[in-house]
Amino acid sequence: MKKKRRKRNKWKWVLFGIPISIIMLGIGIVAYFGMDLTKQSVMLARSATTEHKPDLPPKKFKQAWPELPAPGESLGDLTFPSLDLSVPVVQGTHEEELKKGAGHFAGSALPGQGGHVLLSGHRDTVFTKLQYLKKGDQVTFSTKYGDFVYEATDFEIVPADDMTVNVAKDYETLTLTTCYPFDFIGDAPDRYIVYTKLVSMPEMDG
């Protein structure tokens, strides 16, 4: 009788221990994924704070670029004081335009229109020195309307097919893109992105 009772007690503890183990395992899984989701939320929150809106009040000038410039037409010059670099800027980003300098993405805003100005240039020509630009360095876009001064705020490397950089914004800002890595031979797999915020702009009647 004692042996039977011992066996019964043993099975009771086994049967009792199984659900307890399952519950503890479930708690561990929930805690693990909960921490993972928390990390993701923190990362998303941090990435959201990388967008730098201008300290200046928003402006939009109706008379700025009333007509869309023709492909290849000069828009002005892009100057990087810290890099001792000046780059001509033209309308369009096809190969013929990019041979002339940095190209302005058709569909993105032009300086003075109060939106997202997006420029692209080849890594092995006009934008070779872009890799040496640092946070806080200034970039001046000199146009027929005056000088628009921006400050580098962030840098990012994205896949070549990532088009999230080409988005509309309701405030004046400038983004620069080029192929990456800079020393890559052939079609580069990534893009190097420079984000800026507006520092100053010419006084114009709107």
Residues that are catalytic:
122, 179
The tokens for 23 are 């519950």
Bridge partners for 106 per DSSP:
108
Contact between 194 and 155 (Cβ < 8 Å) = yes
Looking at the chain, the number of H-run helices and the number of E-run strands are 2, 8
Taking the C-alpha atoms of residue 162 and residue 192, their distance in angstroms, rounded to an integer, is 11
* Residue 24: partners with Cβ closer than 8 Å, 6 or more residues away: none
The tokens for 8 are 């019964």
